[in-house]
Amino acid sequence: MEPVLIQRIKQMMQIRNITQADLARITGIRASSISDYLSGKYQPKQDKIALIADALSVNPGWLMGYDEPKKPVSSSIVEKKGNWDLLAHYQKLSENEQKTIATMIKNGIQDFTVKHDTDNLKMTRELLSLFNQLDIEDQIEIKGEIKGMLKADKYKVKSNDEAI
């Protein structure tokens, strides 16, 4: 029988429709390490469990099998399928595309032309479409989440021109 940790990681990956490659990219953990964890070859250390739990929007204690709530208090927004898809698509965008989306949201998403290759343009349009399907409270919450992320130095934009 698989350890609870492995069962729950697989369960949440299936629910979130995340592949091992996606999980590796989102967490920054090597794909081979994710594979080793899921096969039971190695047990992830606590810092890696925290990264995986964050990527899956679950409580690390619950992921390890403890009797704790499944989701952290702040993750309720991503529990809705549309919200998770929106965040997953956002995370797949390049840093420049994320900055562009943040600028678009900040400026109130109006007629905005994004010049990217076909695949990235399609993903950006899909992200905007998903965002527009959310009710206003969730849009505001997503906007707040993005603004919070943008407080990190690596996301600071000096002017709107640099974000585009």
User: What are the start-end ranges of the E strands in 13-160?
Assistant: none
Over 50: is that where the pLDDT of 136 sits? Answer: yes
Q: What is the structure's pLDDT at 158?
A: 52
Q: Which of 8-12, 78-82, 92-96, 139-143 has the highest mean pLDDT?
A: 8-12
- Cα(75)–Cα(26) distance, integer angstroms: 16
pLDDT at residue number 16: 83
Confidence check: pLDDT of 139 > 50? yes
Q: Give the chain's radius of gyration (CA, Å).
A: 17
Residue type, 72: P
pLDDT at position 30 is 94
pLDDT of residue 113: 46
Share of the chain above pLDDT 90, in %: 23
Distance (Å, rounded) from C-alpha 111 to C-alpha 157? 21
Q: What is the mean pLDDT of residues 126-152?
A: 77
pLDDT tens track for 84-97: 667 767 777 777 88
Residue 35 has pLDDT above 90, yes or no: yes
What the block records as the tokens of 136 is 């206003």
The stretch 42-54 carries a mean pLDDT of 92
Look at the pTM and tell me if it is higher than 0.75. no
CA-based nearest residue to 34, from 24, 48, 43, 26: 24
Identify whether the C-beta of residue 61 lies closer than 8 Å to the C-beta of residue 68: yes
Choose between 98 and 153: higher pLDDT.
Answer: 98
Write down the pLDDT at residue 116.
Answer: 44
Write the DSSP symbol of residue 73: G
Q: How many CB atoms lie within 10 A of CB 65?
A: 12
